[in-house]
Structure 1
């Protein structure tokens, strides 16, 4: 019988429970979960500070990686290593904060042979999103060697984006509200580190042109300031809203400098593209995985660390090992 983190619309909201297998969803593939991870969306779901979960009881967790236990689909067989990110799992469908889960075969992707399930969750949705951002900028014609800004740089997406961009030869400028993490960001490849207060004031219609590209994980005023400071024909990949969902910007960067705002989402990327992106992630130097700051916790610690993430007290990645006490 698997242990799960169960959310209920009562106090306490989150508790670890042991349930019968017949309470798992009736779906095609049963996976023994090796690792999951804690993302900002998960933290909103667990704490109830975001309208992520609407039906209870509910098992959250938008990511997991593990081993197929049983399959009614010819796409997967027992002992296959698989990854799940997105598709509404952990939002509308029971997710990865569990020792075992049943999911649709189409939601899964094979784990690349050169990537362990632990390493897959070191990347998770954050790493997948970061690589999708890099690819969007590349597809839009951003030249390597140019200056690229990354906001929310100590978060999961941001810290992976810093490493990936640096690896591919861009000059990375990282934005953070955690000055004590400057040394770590530089170790990831940031050439410059900027305080986030530089991007929190009321945006100008246009500001001094500073960057050829950007990956924004914050949204709201920060994104508006970034857009105003892009070079002519600059490209901005928008992937997050940690600072809010509004965009108090003008059209001036678009019509006077030809700036492009590129939306990036990872939840419903088609399987062929998803497989290709995970393979590209697996081909990144192993040293990048070693450089990523991370903490490993069990199911019992998720609620506490979710509060810390909402409060901005987490940097890097948070792995969840359901085998830990």
Structure 2
């Protein structure tokens, strides 16, 4: 990993019309990739990583924001081509900022962070595709003890979905997933058959690779799936049978360039009817503990969410 912690001047920050004093950032799989040599995330060097953050406005050219306003950022080019959240300050365009919704503390908003926003966006898209509490469908969630998966299970459980199956990698993760709200947890075991027995109505995939196909070929007729991550790889070893024999849908989830109206709507849900802020699985660290969490993310050992107190 190629990074150092340094003291720098504010003139190093990327341009923006709002200066934010950062309180928390979070550590995501994408952040870990950004710290790897040729990780494919950071485009310009040197760069301050951190793809999300929450804090208070220090100064603003845009009169929409005043000093002390609590604001958050997820996505856009933060931590990639625009200096990000692993810093005491960030400077960003005002149209990237979301006011922290009432009902959420600054800390809770970053425990959600990019992972929580992505989980909620995935559920939002599945509901648009027909998923309804009234029907109590069978739902499969992969990466169930990771950042996105753990939050997705808790939100689904909170809003009334009962038939949630967690897809995990290791036996020790089964109990964790069940404690999060999954009815059951299974470990991926597969064969080379192109299509399997119909088991699940909806699939929220957070990891990609072969695990994506594991769920797709077990979807029921007219089932739908979302995919939002590539922890298990960015190649889909797919065949067309589940699509043409069962009419299933695969919906891609991009949380980086979501339009502002949708962002506000998702954050409103996270602060109100989808609010699980009091039960989120997380730990809080400072920069001294930073290396260990990055190692866990790299090795697939990280559970829940980690927030960085600036």
TM-score range, shorter chain: over 0.9
Give the equivalent residue in structure 2 for 1:226.
Answer: 215
1:107 aligns with 2:96: yes
Separation of aligned partners in 1, 2:181 and 2:304: 14
Instruction: Provide the secondary structure at the position in 2 that maps to 1:232.
Output: strand
Give the equivalent residue in structure 2 for 1:252.
Answer: 241
Separation of aligned partners in 2, 1:167 and 1:21: 42
Give the equivalent residue in structure 2 for 1:164.
Answer: 155
Give the equivalent residue in structure 2 for 1:298.
Answer: 286
1:143-183 residue CA offsets vs partner (Å, 9 max, x unmatched): 32111000011111000111111222221100111321322
Contact 1:47 1:303 in 2 (8 A): no
Give the equivalent residue in structure 2 for 1:4.
Answer: none
Q: Structure 1 stretches (4+) deviating beyond 6 angstroms?
A: none
Give the deviation of 1:202 after TM superposition: 4.8
TM-score (normalised: structure 2): 0.95
> Which stretch has the larger CA shift, 60-69 or 41-50?
41-50
Give the equivalent residue in structure 1 for 2:266.
Answer: 277
Give the equivalent residue in structure 2 for 1:183.
Answer: 175
Separation of aligned partners in 2, 1:152 and 1:86: 21
Separation of aligned partners in 2, 1:178 and 1:65: 33
Separation of aligned partners in 2, 1:119 and 1:203: 43
Give the equivalent residue in structure 2 for 1:77.
Answer: 66
- Paired residues in the alignment total 307
TM-score (normalised: structure 1): 0.91
1:151 aligns with 2:139: no
Give the deviation of 1:223 after TM superposition: 0.8
1:51 aligns with 2:57: no
Name stretches of at least 5 consecutive residues in structure 2 with no aligned partner: none
1:173-208 residue CA offsets vs partner (Å, 9 max, x unmatched): 001113213222112110010113x2xx45422111
Separation of aligned partners in 2, 1:82 and 1:93: 17
Name stretches of at least 5 consecutive residues in structure 1 with no aligned partner: 1-11
